[in-house]
Amino acid sequence: MDYFKWTYNGTTYDQVDPFKTIPVKDDPNYDKPFWESIGMTESEAQVIKTNYQWHKIREEREILLKQTDWVSGSDVPQSLKDIWFSYRQALRDITSQEDPFNIVWPEKP
């Protein structure tokens, strides 16, 4: 997923963290953040960074949920399903946390 892709000084950057700095020493914007170098506001850059972080969290959540899909099988006893229910629900609710940079992940039963 490309949240942040642009061309600067003839080089195409595929970058999701607009707060990284220009790495080319002979560039006049050397060591300035990418967002500043391409004329973006800091708040716009923060939105991109935050959206990408939520994207990564959702990807991880989907992996963790798939690892527990076996619990939904018809041959799984209800007592075992009950044990895993709150973990799976906590994973589904993970995006209700406020700060995507400080997510508290539920523990597997």
Question: What are 38-70's pLDDT values in tens digits?
Answer: 888 999 888 888 988 998 999 999 999 999 999
Closest CA to 46 of 23, 19, 22: 19
Question: What are 82-97's pLDDT values in tens digits?
Answer: 999 999 999 999 999 9
CB 33 within 8 A of CB 18: yes
The larger pLDDT score, comparing residue 105 to residue 2, is at 105
Question: What are 1-17's pLDDT values in tens digits?
Answer: 455 666 666 767 666 67
pLDDT at 8: 66
pLDDT at 40: 84
pLDDT at 5: 66
pLDDT at 34: 84
pLDDT at 102: 97
SS3 letters for the chain? CCCCEEEECCEEEECCCCCCEECCCCCCCECCEHHHHCCCCHHHHHHHHHHHHHHHHHHHHHHHHHHCHHHHCCCCCHHHHHHHHHHHHHHHCHHHCCCCCCCCCCCCC
So where are the chain's domains?
5-96
pLDDT at 107: 96
pLDDT at 27: 84
